[in-house]
Structure 1
Amino acid sequence: MFDFLKRGNADAPGPGAVPETKASAARRAMALGPAGRVAWSPRDTGSLTRAGFLGNPVGFRAVKIVAEAAAAIPLVLQDAARRYAAHPALALIERPNQAQGRAELFEALYGQILLTGNGYVEAVGTGGLPQELHVLRSDRMSVVPGADGWPIGYDYAAGGRRHRFAVTADAASPVCHIRSFHPQDDHYGLSPLQAAAGAVDVHNAASAWSKALLDNAARPSGAIVYSGPDGAAGMTADQYDRLVAEMETMHQGARNAGRPMLLEGGLDWKPMGFSPSDMEFQKTKEAAAREIATAFGVPPMMLGIPGDATYANYQEANRAFYRLTVLPLVTRVAAAIADFLSDHSGERFELRPDLDQIAALAPERDALWARVGAAGFLSEAEKRRLLGLPANSAAGAGSGARDEDAADG
């Protein structure tokens, strides 16, 4: 077991032997920094919101344009028989609380869903329809699962305190939880911002790199090589400190751009970086911006990102934006709110986006009305059903008017 130790001791020099020394034939040396490792930002809700919304113009605009467009779509309320022009639930939605109107409430709700994948609406008041509706911050809310996996409550933490919204089987839930699809989580949704987190990091890093490049006179990094006379030692501590101070004061910053560098005493400048044109840095930044826009379902041309030839013009991009992004979001949220309010009131009804009030979809609606109206083989009830209208014609086809029977509803 100790043979290798014995052999090692036998090869060791004796007490009076001179230690062997080796001298490098290359006296001139150059220090290189280690290659950087990929550093991703944290993936928690707060960090993602700060990096992808508060600190990124593409993510900020993508969330704003989707939330504002979705909140601006009017909603219609109807049941199986008629469509209502006035209803207590519609009045509640139009004025959900003392501080917000319908558009403000829904913009906050859509923003929470886009940023976190979860939206929470609190119902204030008991007995029938709620008196007020409030959107709660998703980063402060946590689901409390029961033994069977279904939520038995929601904990809301704020100001160092925690409030429990209990969910019982004999009463309507005080919180409406709307979540996006998440394939690996039973209680929380997956936000577009989580899917675009890598692109957000690349875009933010590119912006920081561009700013640092401008601060350093728009020149790539390099190395100062010391080539002293043969046999000379390296730079002294005073010489090194003076060189560093001169570089910081005379050759960094925008005001020093273009200033020539005077090197003496065997110093030489060796560029070590690539130019922005070699790295195609601007294209990398634009590609990251397109990935962020794609994750949120916004056509890049609507965010001013160049190079998008998918749509023939802006009008087609706007129509695709409403049809593929805004309408699915509004339809899902409106259905969840309708079920939530129906549980409280005991009256079943549904909320739908009013497609007739969306200017971007007007050509499609005109074509649909023309085709259905010209179909003589269809009855009036079948035509109304194809147009998404209730069966009762007395309520007014698509007008949102209500008959006398609906006045008591």
Structure 2
Amino acid sequence: MSVAGYTLSPRAAAAEARRNGTVNAASSTAVITGGDPVDMVEWFGGGQRAAGMVVTPETAMRSTAVWRCVTLISGALMTQELGVYRSTPKGDFIRVHGHPMDRFLNREPNAEMTGAVFVENSAVQMLLRGNGYGLIRQARNGTMTAVDFYFPWQVLPFRSLNRDIWYRFTNEDGSTEDHHASYVLHFKGPGLSPDGIRALSPISHHAQSIGISLATRDYEAGQFERGLMTNDYFQFKEAVSGDQRRDFKEYLRNKARGVANAHNPLLLEHGAEWKRVAVTAKDAQLLELLQYSVVDVCRIFGVPPNMAGEVANTSNFGTGVEQQSIGFDRWTVMPHKVRIAGEWTRKLFPVVGARTPEFFVWWDDDFLLSGDSKAIAAYLRAGLGGNQLPGWLSQNEARRKVNLPPKNGPGGDDVYSPSDSATAAAPPVDPALDAALADDKDTANAS
């Protein structure tokens, strides 16, 4: 069977036949042929067992280190606005404000979330499961109407007989629908699974490290829950029966359960003695294990440990907050930005034949990388042409970066360039912009 010229695999053909009314349950006749067994287990809702813990993307988020790394990266992505840019024949990149696709990138990709929330949730799934998905909806006339968000466990990618990639989406009501890859936004993390379609799952490939982090926290919480340390023991001088042992254990559970009852006195009979092995948390290296588990998780996501709350060691990116932010954005966030923007570009502005489209999607991030308020003021002054040097920003562009309205009248969109005359005039000064820059400088000096 083929649809719109695409030859379908038996599974996709069964789904198409079901929509035509010839098959009642396509899912019962579809043979799932996944590549990676771990990915297939996750798709059916299972997980790996490591260090005595069941490790899934959901349970992994119970680890404070995993939570911080994932929310830190996804939060950094959602705060940097996506936009449509146009490339000129000269190689210039110009932001196209008001492009029709801005609605789906920044405002409202669907009726349930904003553009920033869509980016954040897609990044969370990409960081946990390695893959994030969005389905492009179109009207009958081909106009794009929405981009629906789907969890990875709701999506099953597969190949047709002619090697085209298709995606099976499972909706909340249990119905399924198959769509060609040209209508699917597939945000992939690093690497490829054996099927060549999906990316690798960080949680699956590092289940041992995350399991250790979860097990360490559970062990620590269990110490407070039990009230008694696990290295406590009781010695009886007289023989006790099995029933007496059971009664005594139940007595201990009720008497010393929880932190509030940890110091309650015990009533011991039959010459019993309460003894404790002198092993402290330091001797058991529990604190070192907790610290190591945090660093190991940070290593998985490429986050500096100090940005995840582990401040025992100095940062590799320098001591200043500005240098830490620049290094984090450059080495950790930038690869994800390239993947997300590239997928948006590939699906919104596809390549037709050998012709490269003039539009592409990228992040408006240059202003965020410029540093603190003092560095921002210096950046804008240099961009406007300070010290009689050629500028690269117009006054309206600079005003837009500090949330000021554009300047009315001529010269607002001109970029300053010094003349060859020895009496070159200084660049025009905008009083409102100069006041904003002065406020930034005063704030930086006060801090």
Contact 2:185 2:344 in 1 (8 A): yes
Unmatched tracts of structure 1, length 5 or more: 1-36, 229-233, 381-394, 398-409
Q: Which amino acid in the other structure matches residue 120 of structure 1?
A: Y
Question: For residue 34 of structure 1, what is the aligned residue in structure 2?
Answer: none
Measured in 1, the distance between the counterparts of 2:202 and 2:307 equals 18
Q: Which amino acid in the other structure matches residue 325 of structure 1?
A: T
Measured in 1, the distance between the counterparts of 2:326 and 2:266 equals 56
Measured in 2, the distance between the counterparts of 1:135 and 1:344 equals 24
User: In the TM superposition, what is the alpha-carbon distance from 1:315 to its structure 2 partner?
Assistant: 2.8
Question: For residue 392 of structure 1, what is the aligned residue in structure 2?
Answer: none
Matched, 1:176 2:185: yes
User: In the TM superposition, what is the alpha-carbon distance from 1:334 to its structure 2 partner?
Assistant: 0.7
Q: CA separation of 1:238/1:68 partners in 2, compared to 1, >3 Å: closer, same or farther?
A: closer
Question: For residue 101 of structure 1, what is the aligned residue in structure 2?
Answer: 114
Once the two structures are superposed, the pairs formed by residues 2-401 of structure 1 within 5 Å of their partners are 39-43=51-55, 48-53=56-61, 55-81=62-88, 83=94, 84-94=96-106, 95-126=108-139, 127-147=141-161, 149-151=163-165, 153-159=166-172, 161-167=174-180, 173-185=182-194, 186-217=196-227, 219-228=229-238, 234-271=239-276, 274-310=279-315, 311-343=318-350, 348-359=358-369
User: In the TM superposition, what is the alpha-carbon distance from 1:367 to its structure 2 partner?
Assistant: 8.0
Q: CA separation of 1:191/1:368 partners in 2, compared to 1, >3 Å: closer, same or farther?
A: farther
Measured in 2, the distance between the counterparts of 1:38 and 1:261 equals 37
Structure of greater relative contact order (alpha carbons < 8 Å, 6+ residues apart): 1
Measured in 2, the distance between the counterparts of 1:364 and 1:197 equals 42
Measured in 2, the distance between the counterparts of 1:273 and 1:325 equals 44
Q: Secondary structure at the match of 1:276?
A: coil
User: In the TM superposition, what is the alpha-carbon distance from 1:150 to its structure 2 partner?
Assistant: 4.3
Measured in 2, the distance between the counterparts of 1:302 and 1:215 equals 30
Deviations 1:81-130 (A, max 9, x none): 16222322223323322332221111111111111100111111145551
Q: Secondary structure at the match of 1:355?
A: coil
Q: Percent identity?
A: 20
Q: CA separation of 1:118/1:213 partners in 2, compared to 1, >3 Å: closer, same or farther?
A: same
TM-score by length of 2: 0.64
Q: Which amino acid in the other structure matches residue 74 of structure 1?
A: E
TM-score by length of 1: 0.70
Unmatched tracts of structure 2, length 5 or more: 1-48, 393-412, 416-447
Q: Which amino acid in the other structure matches residue 253 of structure 2?
A: E
Measured in 2, the distance between the counterparts of 1:129 and 1:340 equals 14
User: In the TM superposition, what is the alpha-carbon distance from 1:369 to its structure 2 partner?
Assistant: 11
Contact 2:295 2:305 in 1 (8 A): yes
User: In the TM superposition, what is the alpha-carbon distance from 1:332 to its structure 2 partner?
Assistant: 1.7
Contact 2:189 2:336 in 1 (8 A): no
Q: CA separation of 1:352/1:258 partners in 2, compared to 1, >3 Å: closer, same or farther?
A: same
Deviations 1:22-59 (A, max 9, x none): xxxxxxxxxxxxxxx9744345xxxx222111x22222
Contact 2:50 2:207 in 1 (8 A): no
Deviations 1:296-353 (A, max 9, x none): 2222222222212123233322221111112221122111101101139995521122
Q: CA separation of 1:77/1:160 partners in 2, compared to 1, >3 Å: closer, same or farther?
A: closer
Q: Secondary structure at the match of 2:167?
A: strand
Q: Secondary structure at the match of 2:250?
A: helix
Q: CA separation of 1:91/1:247 partners in 2, compared to 1, >3 Å: closer, same or farther?
A: closer
Measured in 2, the distance between the counterparts of 1:243 and 1:135 equals 55
Measured in 1, the distance between the counterparts of 2:170 and 2:123 equals 21
Measured in 1, the distance between the counterparts of 2:284 and 2:163 equals 50
Q: Which amino acid in the other structure matches residue 178 of structure 2?
A: F
User: In the TM superposition, what is the alpha-carbon distance from 1:366 to its structure 2 partner?
Assistant: 7.3
Measured in 2, the distance between the counterparts of 1:193 and 1:163 equals 27
Higher mean C-alpha deviation, range 353-362 or range 295-304? 353-362
Contact 1:215 1:253 in 2 (8 A): yes
Contact 1:74 1:357 in 2 (8 A): no
Q: Which amino acid in the other structure matches residue 326 of structure 2?
A: R
Contact 1:112 1:137 in 2 (8 A): yes
Q: CA separation of 1:341/1:292 partners in 2, compared to 1, >3 Å: closer, same or farther?
A: same
